[in-house]
């Protein structure tokens, strides 16, 4: 058995002629469908019917067109080195196209720096993040419509993600986190008691649903992103009832506009479960970003089962590795988290309510310690004035950007990539030189 991933990439299974032909035929079908069909016709025909299912024994599952679907998800965000939301320079990765060839730089042209020399050699062709994720076993990515207000969605790219690579999208709305779409100033923060802000947030949800409900890539809807935490600059932590009632209004609106896709709340851990149970009965899925400092999620699945009986989706998990970053620790942490999710899936002997999760995150983001042009030094941990509190968040990627000089194209695959591949797919030997 080949154990060295670099060796296997260079020498083992080559993607054959038939595989390439299937790729080209699928791509041709996509292009023909987009050019020949009336506006919206193809998207409506291909839109999936996604449901949550609770059997007679109380076991929860997610189904797509009647078939079980377990989310093997990736928090896909790519930040070009030097950009940061703190100074307003962060752009939508879906529109990165430095060479103007019409292809998305990271999604379609990223290459694997196999030998670690920081140079794209002849045997390191562009393969793109989408293919890398597909080969890893990813079937869903998490994506928010209002992360980049100045850009329209790149639907061509999202359709390609599904049609060519078989990866669906959990489409999210920040729902007032960081004051996005609420109309509140930063100093005020989003106020879920304010009728005008509530109206604006519901209108934002309406726009999202009408834009994406008939698209083939849409799997489900996500509302919020840890809005119950104070640092997201909302008052949901203080007024959980008001927040929960607005979530329920949004869920009802989505169900009225779209009968094909369920709605998930994206909470910070398990806070306010009782408030959601009382005031948000129309939410279909309890989603949570959970970082409990261990290789798993403690009693999370039992907490939800007891207080807010819904399928559980880990909308973010991973680690900031407070004791120092190394690839072995990262790989072990992620493997432990995924095994805990799988152990609580329907029929696995646990709480029978897990429907999958989104690993955090695909690529290192360099801006998180405050200097977007430089990746923080892991050796700075514990030292004052060096961004020590956030340095490990700059090393959360399943892949890295090397020294940053080839951002956003260069990828170095960390050990955790191969761990997930072994957990998520039977394909363990891939050659990206073809």
Question: In whole angstroms, how far apart are CA 306 and each of 274, 303, 432?
Answer: 10, 5, 47
Tally of residues, the chain:
434
In a domain, 120, yes or no: yes
> For residue 87, what are its two tokens?
């100074």
In a domain, 429, yes or no: no
Question: In whole angstroms, how far apart are CA 330 and each of 42, 320, 420?
Answer: 42, 9, 12
> For residue 130, what are its two tokens?
């989408």
In a domain, 178, yes or no: yes
What pTM did the predictor assign?
A: 0.88
> For residue 407, what are its two tokens?
């951002």
- The rounded Cα 372 to chain-centroid distance in angstroms is 22
Domain containing 328 equals 5-424
In a domain, 367, yes or no: yes
Domain CATH code at residue 102 = 3.20.20.80
* pLDDT at residue number 90: 85
Rounded CA separation 319/316 (Å): 10
Rounded CA separation 327/429 (Å): 20
Q: What percent of the chain has pLDDT over 70?
A: 83
Rounded CA separation 214/260 (Å): 9
Mapped onto helix, strand or coil, the DSSP state of residue 430 is coil
- Can you tell me which residue has the tokens 């851990």? 269
* pLDDT at residue number 292: 87
Burial class (CB in 10 A: 0-12, 13-18, 19+), 86: exposed
Torsion 181-184-185-190 (CA) sign: negative
As for how many domains the chain has, the answer is 1
Mean pLDDT across the chain = 87
User: What does the pLDDT average to over 287-298?
Assistant: 89
In a domain, 434, yes or no: no
Rounded CA separation 44/323 (Å): 49
Q: What is the DSSP string of 280-321?
A: -TT--EEEEE---SSSS-TTHHHHHHHHS-S-EEEEEE----
Closest CA to 80 of 71, 70, 90, 95: 90
pLDDT band at 46 (very low <50, low <70, confident <90, very high): confident
Please report how many Cα atoms fall inside a 13 Å half-sphere around the Cα of residue 265, on the Cβ side.
35
- pLDDT (tens digit per residue) in 166-179: 999 999 999 999 99
Q: Which residues have C-beta within 8 Å of that of residue 391, sequence separation ≥ 6?
A: 369, 376, 377, 378, 380, 381
In a domain, 433, yes or no: no
- pLDDT (tens digit per residue) in 125-154: 999 999 999 999 999 999 999 887 667 899
DSSP 161: H
Beta strands in 386-433, from DSSP E residues, in sequence order:
399-400, 410-413
- pLDDT (tens digit per residue) in 219-269: 999 999 999 999 999 999 999 999 999 999 999 999 999 999 999 999 999
């Amino acid at each position: 058995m080949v154990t060295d991933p670099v060796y296997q990439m260079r020498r083992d299974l080559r993607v054959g002629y038939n595989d390439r032909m299937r790729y080209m035929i699928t791509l041709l079908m996509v292009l023909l469908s987009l050019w020949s069909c009336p506006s919206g016709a193809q998207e409506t025909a291909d839109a999936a019917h996604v449901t949550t299912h609770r059997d007679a024994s109380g076991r929860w599952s997610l189904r797509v067109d009647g078939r079980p679907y377990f989310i093997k998800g990736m928090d896909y965000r790519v930040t070009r080195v030097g950009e940061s939301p703190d100074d307003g320079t962060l752009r939508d990765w879906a529109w990165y196209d430095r060479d103007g060839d019409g292809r998305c730089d990271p999604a379609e042209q990223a290459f694997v720096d196999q030998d670690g020399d920081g140079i794209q050699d002849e045997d390191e062709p562009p393969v793109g993040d989408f293919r890398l994720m597909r080969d890893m076993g990813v079937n869903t990515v998490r994506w928010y419509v209002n992360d980049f207000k100045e850009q329209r969605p790149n639907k061509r790219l999202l359709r390609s993600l599904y049609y060519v690579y078989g990866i669906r999208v959990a489409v999210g709305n920040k729902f007032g986190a960081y004051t996005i779409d609420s109309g509140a100033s930063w100093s005020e923060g989003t106020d879920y008691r304010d009728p005008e802000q509530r109206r604006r947030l519901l209108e934002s949800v309406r726009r999202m649903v009408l834009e994406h409900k008939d698209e083939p890539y849409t799997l489900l809807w996500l509302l919020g992103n840890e809005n119950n935490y104070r640092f997201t600059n909302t008052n949901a932590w203080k007024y959980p009832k008001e927040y929960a009632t607005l979530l329920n209004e949004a869920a009802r609106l989505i169900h009225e506009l779209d009968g094909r896709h369920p709605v998930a709340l994206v909470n910070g851990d398990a806070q306010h479960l009782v408030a959601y149970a009382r005031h948000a009965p129309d939410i279909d899925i309890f989603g949570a970003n959970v970082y409990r400092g261990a290789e798993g999620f403690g009693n999370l699945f039992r907490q939800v089962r007891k207080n807010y009986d819904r399928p559980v989706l880990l909308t973010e998990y991973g680690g900031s590795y407070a004791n120092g970053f190394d690839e072995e620790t990262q790989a072990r942490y992620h493997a432990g988290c995924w095994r805990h999710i799988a152990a609580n899936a329907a029929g696995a002997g646990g709480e029978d309510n897990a429907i999958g999760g989104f690993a955090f995150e695909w690529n290192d983001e360099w801006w998180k310690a405050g200097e977007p042009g430089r990746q923080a030094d892991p050796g700075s941990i514990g030292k004052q004035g060096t961004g020590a509190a956030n340095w490990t968040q700059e090393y959360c990627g399943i892949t890295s950007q090397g020294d940053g000089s080839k951002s956003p194209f260069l990828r170095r695959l960390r050990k955790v990539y191969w761990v997930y591949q072994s957990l998520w797919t039977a394909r363990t030997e891939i050659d990206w030189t073809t």
